[in-house]
Amino acid sequence: MNAIDTGLKPKERADVARELSKALADSYALYLKTHGYHWNVRGPEFFSLHNLLEEQYREIWAALDDIAERIRALGELAPQSASAFANLTSIKDGDPEKDSSEMLKELIKDHGVVISTARAALDAADEVGDEASVDLMTQRLAAHEKAAWMLRSSLGDR
């Protein structure tokens, strides 16, 4: 087997990968909820919310691959099963019976969860000098902060 030479020690790579796995699980849970709410949103603002949620779930979907591939580049296996994701995330399943404003409020809260998880992964990566993971998590922070802002603005909040 070829040695992995990233300039990081095996334990450092494993520690960062563990935090990235949590970010991946939270992102996947948020993807599923956003996609489900995209299908089930209704009301007078249906068209604009349906389109906004589609834009957001597509962006998250693309990021899932980036996060999983970073975990693999660190020499660890990315979680891939529903049970593995369920054990790693604190984001709860969505409820299609909620009205659109409740859906958006829940998604805003969940973006906050992902932001927190991404910050923890960023901190772990920064601590060991893993600039590639820092960069990836910085990008994810910006994306989730923007998504939360757009959802808040859709509710008339700042």
Residue 61 lies in a domain: yes
Q: For every one of its 158 residues, what pLDDT tens digit does the chain have, with 9 covering 90 and above? A: 678 888 999 999 999 999 999 999 999 999 999 999 999 999 999 999 999 999 999 999 999 999 999 999 999 999 999 999 999 999 999 999 999 999 999 999 999 999 999 999 999 999 999 999 999 999 999 999 999 999 999 999 87
Residue 158 lies in a domain: no
**Predicted local distance difference test score (pLDDT) of residue 1:** 61
Site of tokens 């659109």: 100
pTM given for the model: 0.95
Residue 19 lies in a domain: yes
Residue 3 lies in a domain: no
Residue 2 lies in a domain: no
Residue 20 lies in a domain: yes
- Written in H, E and C, the secondary structure of 9-35 is CHHHHHHHHHHHHHHHHHHHHHHHHHH
Residue 59 lies in a domain: yes
Domain of 142, CATH number, reads 1.20.1260.10
**Predicted local distance difference test score (pLDDT) of residue 3:** 81
Q: Which residue range is the domain that position 126 belongs to?
A: 8-87+95-153
Q: How many domains does the chain have?
A: 1
CA distance 24 to 86: 11
Residue 102 lies in a domain: yes
**Predicted local distance difference test score (pLDDT) of residue 4:** 85
Rounded to the nearest 5 percent, the helix, strand and coil shares of the chain are: 75, 0, 25
